[in-house]
Structure 1
Amino acid sequence: MLNDYIKPSILWTDVEDRIDATFYRTDFVVSLDKIFKNLTIPVLPNRQLIHELTDYTANGSFESLKKNVRYTNETGIPMIRGKNLKNGVLDKTDLNYVTDDTYRFLKKSELNAGDLLFTKTGTLGNTIVWSEYFGKATLGDNIFKVRYKNGINPYYIHAYFSTDYGYKWVERFAQGGVQPTIIKESFREIKIPVPDITIQDYIGNKVKRAENLREEARILNEECRNEFNKVLDLKIDLKKHAFLVEMDDYKTISSNPSIIYTTKNYEMKIAPQYYHPRRVFLLEQLKKINFNTKKLSELTNRISSKSSVNSLPYVGPDCIDNTFGYLTPVPANIKTNTVKTQKDDILFCRLRPNLNNITICDMENIQASAEFLQYRINKDFKYLYYLFFVLRHPFTLYQIVDTAIGDRPRVDEELVDDILIPIIPDETMANINKNIKKVLFNLRLSNQLTLEAKRDVESLIEGNFDESKIIEVE
């Protein structure tokens, strides 16, 4: 029986025989127990659905792990950590790698298609389903690997954990404050609505199709990268600290020179950041390619459209996918001026370390952080998506990455205007333009399907799921 005291912090109920007060927090009792008690579909504890639950530490004692786990470079086998699970997808931008011997030692955390990964410490409840696309990998610390029984669709479970209901169950069983965690025994007790397998598959297949679209986008993006690199044929590794700067009046091999002094005319800029060695080096290499280059300012107009309207969806640096530059606006809650965008505007974040956070506005009526420079393509240049692709390429970023200055390092807007864009053969630009446009289309559709799956689970719990939709699909 719910306590009728006005806004109590906890409630006495007969839901579970537990002594921890957090479990009986008012919002948990009202939004979980009261609703789940009245569901017409079975609600089962996770332990009844799980075939196998394991993690990194199941491979041995801390001493044994310390002795046998060896890290290596990108030629090794990926180790998936909690930070690689973001917004329901696998983020490969900051992977660790282990040796073959380590992979064999960590046999209990070997990843296979269909395994659900669940972050158990820190940012709780981020999930992905491991796909055959992802290849060979092993599990890092702070993640559960869950293999569900036959008759349970892991993509449906993934969609469930993306809902507020799923997250509240996770939060309810969490322990700790600053670094919350959920232990195996608590994870097994999370309540999960289990509809008929046809409904699970209907919802889960949306998530799986979204994953397939992202994989197609990844392949297309990689093909564009390879095509561009082959045409440009710049045989340099700008990630290395040691490089050669050689010009008519200056020559040095240095691992960390601060600036290059030269009589060459780089438009007679006074600020020292214009002459950072890596920038000078790259500009010298660009003079040797077989194609013309144009400044960003020759292909676009930089727009200044500050806005104080706070009702539009908002895009900050963290709203942009690092892999593809795909944007996901969030509800506005902004107290400062922003940039009001138009469809097809390019947003270029000039705040380090977010220089790679470049995106195209593929929707109307959004506002963006004032940390973005806003560019609108000229009518006489028809390859918007090629330009967006090149701006995200390391070749471009290394023209400016070392020039950010200040307490919160920013790149001077004139330096961004001066970025050189290769004007490669028209046929190649057209092909890259077409494929990158397809990449962003796939990602938008993938995001739509993921949201639909989430809403389907919520409708199922709230009693208004329309089963006729399943018949229509069949």
Structure 2
Amino acid sequence: MAKKKQIELTIEEKLQNALVPKEEQPYKIPNNWCWVRLDFLLKEICNGTTIKQNKEGKTARVTRIESLQNNTIDFNRIGNIVNESLIKDKDWYIEGDIIVSHINSIEHVGKSAVITRDMLPLVHGMNLLRLRLNNICNSQFFQLYTRTTDYKKSIVNRVNRAVNQVSINQKQLCSLEIPITNLKEQQRIVNRIESLFVKLDRAKELIENTLAQFEQNKMAILHKAFTGELTVKWIKKNNIDLSSWKKYELKEVFKVVKDKYNPQIENQIVNYIGLENIETSKGIINKNNSSEVKSIKTKFKKDDVLYGKLRPYLNKHDVVNFDGICSTDILVFRFDNINTAKYINYYFNLPMFIQYAVENSSGINLPRVSEKTISKYKISLPIIEEQQEIVNILDKLLAKYNKIKNLEQQLEKIELLKKAILAKAFRGELGTNNPDEESAENLLKEILAEK
């Protein structure tokens, strides 16, 4: 049977297929911009090679799903092709290629990177889509768009969900709406964003260095506290023997509270603490988060220590100063003396304790540490009077580290500012757009005419 003759579309018909209908456009853009389906910006989209690989570092380098980190390729996380003779010409990246994570957690799916000249030679590995753009889209411009909130929403709206991960296939990705302007404006936007981001990254680096120094100093102070160095003068003054420090398992020091709150019986509004509300000793647990809880929770009282048993909250804990209820993923420890509670709460910050909790947590998807594991931990405790003295000294010495919270808030503001800059950039609001320049629609017509 003869094949049906394919109907040849006119340029205008092709253009209408490429452009996003007005009612489907995510937001308004300048008149010389246009919304285009990603499919019409691509020369090629493909998955990577399935050639066997290892991590011996002796043969051709190949990207893996974990190679894509922080909008670039982390060469500490790449693989190596076992048999280089199996590599085909089409398997190699070229400068300007975009790679996109299309099988990952919901937080990471859709993340991308641009392949730059200094990364080559490099082989395209499986589970990462490779996008090769046509001549009307700058690779850096496109990659910056993939860092916007609008792009992320578009990805999330299209993903296929599974138990532990999500995915987006080539057809779904190609249907994405992309705002396009002419190449001169694309380059101006790239230059402006990079210039602004350099300044923000410099500020971020300074803050992170300060935080790291604070943390280092804090750990040094805590180490001295729990080895008796902070109270040497106090010990001499009070004629106390160093042998007063005794070894205990934590279960001898506190009681694990398991009192349950049943909303069907008690049915009242209470102070509720979830995992996300636990602060480390840098701050105070949020006591204003009152809510009507609909499932059974654990009760706690003023001066109890709350401890997050679920990773990544194993270093989240604090002494509460009010009564309330908390998530069952939070352990509640009760002490006979408030100074012991504060002492242990400080102790929970020690790297060796955190390491113990991490190494002894269990579970595949959501590792957690049990109350039994924490209760078995051995600790050296001085007499109650020295515990109080250590807590008093730590309260004074670490008071200045409360500014850490302000610095962390500054880091959050930097990330929010970056998002705001990206949002403005792809709305044509950075002040770089020239309305008299050629429209992106005309450029698109030229590409479509070649197809």
The interval holding the TM-score normalised by the smaller chain is 0.3 to 0.5
> What TM-score, normalized by structure 1, do the two folds share?
0.45
Which of 1 and 2 has greater Rg? 2
